[in-house]
Amino acid sequence: MKIRSVMAPVVLVAGLAVAAFLSRNYWAGAFATRKGPSATEPAAAPIQEAKTLKMTEQARKNLGLVSKVAKPQEYWRTIEVPGEIVDRPGYSDRGVTSPAVGVVTEVHAFPGDTVKPGDRLFTLRLFSEYLQNTQSEFFKASKEIQLITEQHTRLEGLAKSGGIPESRLIELDSQLRRQKTLIQSYQQDLLTRGLNPDQIQSVSEGTFVSTIDIVAPAVLDYTKKENAIQPVTFHTTGETVEGPAYEVQELNVELGQQVQAGQLLSTLANHQSLYLEGHAFKREASYLAKAAENKWPIQCTFAEDDQIDWPAFDQTLEIRHLANSIDPTTRTFNFFIPLSNQSRAYDKDDQTFIVWRFRPGQRVRLQVPVEELKDVLVLPSAAIVREGPEAYVFQQNGDLFNRLPVHVLHEDRLQVVLANDGSVKRGLYLAQSSAASLNRVLKAQAASGMRADVHVHADGTVHAAH
């Protein structure tokens, strides 16, 4: 029993040894696959982050991708200030008032109508006692001059023959001069009351005026360049007005209404000369004052502006003055830029109407220059993409686009300014838009394993593009 118990382990060990010897090839292969690289074999180079992507011509067209040569230039850093177009006081609107007490018997021009200087606006029947007395006194003075003149003619021969003293003729001459002075004052008074020279002449003959016409005011002085007025042709009459053509903006009286002297009858508008009114905060006052003092040109973006149907806008915009008060509600102060408007006329129903390009109340964005940056690269804002603190642009080389890191000096809603520090070499073609889309495509190509910046050698190794 003891011999049998001792032999059993010996037989088991011997069997395992025989089995291991017979399967030595299998175990050798298994251990060989787990064996690490030897110290003499070079390790494969790690693949760097993808920086290049490939875009077909069709894909570039779908993105509307355009590339331009990078070249350093000068750039004005600006601040953007909101604003609106407003009427220019003293130029845009004209009030028409009644010269005397009367009743509106006719209205000749209604809101929306276009009138030229001298056109009839209203007809008034006069109720003014003062005006009636002035006409009466003017008529009396005119007749008195006739009587004095006739008497002077009769006595002139007697004075020469010694029949009467010459002092009598001198007295008549003095009376004649006094009456002429009175007539001049009455004429001036009647002119200011709205009577025309023909009506004044009829009053001197005894035909008193009971109705007067209120006409559009005369042409203003638009000799300054910033207030230059475009001529308007009234095709219905064939007349061209070199001065302003007014539009009846508001009618302030009704037919049959009694009006007082100096009462507003209507408001006429001419939007040729306007203001761009900017709304800035107090902290921006120094920038605006410097721009106004140095006459730096202001760039303006007009909201809802139809540029196709109008001539090119090439006016140089400069700040005229800054307001010296702050709005208590918005905490902003205003500054003003003269704007010369564009217009065109059309005919309908035998009337001429005017259409203006820029209109009061229209919103604008004003770019005020504050600092000049030299030797910089300027790109559209869509040409840059950000990833945390990094900023990138894309250089085009045929179908390939290389992502380049850049240093941003300034960025606004429309443009981005890059430092010319050598990261982008002069003469490279840079994509002008769709940088965010290109960056997404780059990441998608890298994630799919089909990166455009690597290639596979025949031995299976992967290397970056040469």
Query: Do 98 and 262 form a contact (C-beta atoms < 8 A)?
Result: yes
Band of pLDDT at residue 189, cut at 50, 70 and 90? confident
Three-class DSSP labels, 84-113: EEEECCCCCEEEEECCCCEEEEEECCCCCC
> What is the reported pLDDT for 36?
47
Residue ranges of domains in the chain: 2-33, 52-75+374-464, 81-89+270-371, 95-267
Beta partners for residue 80, in sequence order: 367
pLDDT reading at 126 higher than 90:
no
pLDDT score recorded for residue 227: 46
Distance of CA 363 to the CA centre of its chain: 7
Classified as helix, coil or strand, 32 is helix
pLDDT value at position 21?
A: 61
Question: Among residues of the chain, what percentage have pLDDT more than 90?
Answer: 33
Q: Rounded to 5 degrees, what angle do the CA atoms 117, 118, 123 make?
A: 130
CB burial readout 401-421, b (16+ within 10 A) else e:
bbbbebeebbeeeebbbbbbe
Question: What are the pLDDT digits (tens) for 358-386?
Answer: 999 999 999 999 988 999 999 999 999 99
Q: Which residues pair with 258 in a beta bridge?
A: 103
User: Any idea what DSSP says for residue 296?
Assistant: P
**Cα–Cα dist 194/183, whole Å:** 17
Among 426, 427, 446, 436, which Cα is nearest to 394's?
Answer: 436
Average pLDDT of the residues of the chain: 81
Residue with tokens 């008195």: 144
Assigned fold of 52-75+374-464 = 2.40.420
pLDDT (0 to 100) of residue 248: 93
Q: pLDDT for 390-414, tens place per residue?
A: 999 999 988 889 999 999 998 888 8
DSSP 193-262: TT--HHHHHHHHTT----EEEEEPPPPP---SGGGPPPPEEETTTTEEESS--EEEEEE---TT-EE-TT
| pTM for the structure as a whole | 0.65
Q: What is the pLDDT of residues 12-47, one digit of tens each?
A: 666 666 666 666 655 555 554 444 444 455 554 444
Q: Which overall architecture, per CATH, does domain 81-89+270-371 show?
A: Beta Barrel (2.40)
Element housing 332 (H / E): strand 332-340
